[in-house]
């Protein structure tokens, strides 16, 4: 009996210890769970309420995760300008990559999708953008998007009637290649400055300062370009090109446009037999010293014309786009040097 009583008491005390220990563990479990719930709740709350600093007046749907405003352009040349004026407040996407002709380039599906969310699109206008891009601008922009055309505000020059062809009536057309005259580019830079400020008022002073600095550089490059063209002997200041693209050099610097293989503003058209015959006649008549050939534009035809007229070909002319890593200032200076070396 004694042994039994002892075992019972011992068992009873053992059960009480186990119970108390279990209660302690249970309490600790509740405490840990409450901490975990609180932590989880805090994390969820922060995720539900992200903190982004968007430029004033912008739509978060058109702003990167770093708070930069996304601007769309139609050419690599405009992209260079917008990057300079927009600086650290913008990200620039061009519908035409560096090295590609905006007359003929077909944007990718990804580019089209991003364009549909754009708030500001900056183009040249004046029919520079080919059908592929112009159709997108007409049909793919959101109703709230702002589209700015730079060309019409730069006092564009009209094509003369002496350049009309039998298959194109261009006397009411304007030449979109205004950037060959840096003084007109200054007007475009001011347009870009105002456009960026309109969608991002908080950056108004920043854009203004960047634009003023760049306009000073444009003034210097214009002086350099003018000096280069003036060194060309007056009897040799004649230009024959792949297509109608250098009219502003005639307007601003007195070079004479003799003709072009494609007597049109766009490279997506072609010459007729009559166009080619007329060009051969005028080259022989004027004794134009060179034909400036643009890459990928009627190269075989240009080579044949050069043979028929015993005229040298100058390769490397590009007007509508920048190469990868090239700036507008480099392009405009390189163009003047290419023409000088080809005509002197």
- Whether the per-residue pLDDT at 204 is higher than 60: the answer is yes
Which tokens in the block code for residue 133? 């891009």
Q: Is the pLDDT of residue 37 over 80?
A: no
Q: Is 312 left (phi over 0), alpha (psi -120 to 50) or beta?
A: beta
Q: Which of 109-118, 169-178, 204-213, 258-267 has the lowest mean pLDDT?
A: 169-178
Please report the pLDDT score of residue 10 as a whole number: 43
Percent of the chain with pLDDT over 70: 77
Q: What are phi and psi of 226, to 5 degrees?
A: -60, -45
61-70, 199-208, 326-335: lowest mean pLDDT where?
61-70
Residue 225 has pLDDT above 60, yes or no: yes
Q: pLDDT band for position 34 (50/70/90)?
A: very low
pLDDT of residue 159: 79
Least confident of 156-170, 176-190, 216-230, 302-316: 156-170
**Across residues 234-249, what is the average pLDDT?**
95
Q: How many residues does the chain have?
A: 344
Q: Is the pTM of this model over 0.85?
A: no
Q: Please compute the mean of the pLDDT values over residues 112-135 and round it to a whole number.
A: 94
Q: Buried b vs exposed e over 67-78: b needs ≥16 C-beta within 10 Å?
A: ebbbbbbbbbbb
Q: For the chain, give the mean pLDDT.
A: 83
Instruction: Report the chain's terminal Cα–Cα distance, integer Å.
Output: 130
pLDDT above 50: residue 31: no
CA 255 – CA 6 distance, rounded (Å): 122
- Which of 161-175, 254-268, 308-322 comes out lowest in average pLDDT? 161-175
- 59 pLDDT higher than 80: no
Least confident of 51-65, 199-213, 279-293: 51-65
> Residue range 155-176: average pLDDT?
67
């Amino acid at each position: 009996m004694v042994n039994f009583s002892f075992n019972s008491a011992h068992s009873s005390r053992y059960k009480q210890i186990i119970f108390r220990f279990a209660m302690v563990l249970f309490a600790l479990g509740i405490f840990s769970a409450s901490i975990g719930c609180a932590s989880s709740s805090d994390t969820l709350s922060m995720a539900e309420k992200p903190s982004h600093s968007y430029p004033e007046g912008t739509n978060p749907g058109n702003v990167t995760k770093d708070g930069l405003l996304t601007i769309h352009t139609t050419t690599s040349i405009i992209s260079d300008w917008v990057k300079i004026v927009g600086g650290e407040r913008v990200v620039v996407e061009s519908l035409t990559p560096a090295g590609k002709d905006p007359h003929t380039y077909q944007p990718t599906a990804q580019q089209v999708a991003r364009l549909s969310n754009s708030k500001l699109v900056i183009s040249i206008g004046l029919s520079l953008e080919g059908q592929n891009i112009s159709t997108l601008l007409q049909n793919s922009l959101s109703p709230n998007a702002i589209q700015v055309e730079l060309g019409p505000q730069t006092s564009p020059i009209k094509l003369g009637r002496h350049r009309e062809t039998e298959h194109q009536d261009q006397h009411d057309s304007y030449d979109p290649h205004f950037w060959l005259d840096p003084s007109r580019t200054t007007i475009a830079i001011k347009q870009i400055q105002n456009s960026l400020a309109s969608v991002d008022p908080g950056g108004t002073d920043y854009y203004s300062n960047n634009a003023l600095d760049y306009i000073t550089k444009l003034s210097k490059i214009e002086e350099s370009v003018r000096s280069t063209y003036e060194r060309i002997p007056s009897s040799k200041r004649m230009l024959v090109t792949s297509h109608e693209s250098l009219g502003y050099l005639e307007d601003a610097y007195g070079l004479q446009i003799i003709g072009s293989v494609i007597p049109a503003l766009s490279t997506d058209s072609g010459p007729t037999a009559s166009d080619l015959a007329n060009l051969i006649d005028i080259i022989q008549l004027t004794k134009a010293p060179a034909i400036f050939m643009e890459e990928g534009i009627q190269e075989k035809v240009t080579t044949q014309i050069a043979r028929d007229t015993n005229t040298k070909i100058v390769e490397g002319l590009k007007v509508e786009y920048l190469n990868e890593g090239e700036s507008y200032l480099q392009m405009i200076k390189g163009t003047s040097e290419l023409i000088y070396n080809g005509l002197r």
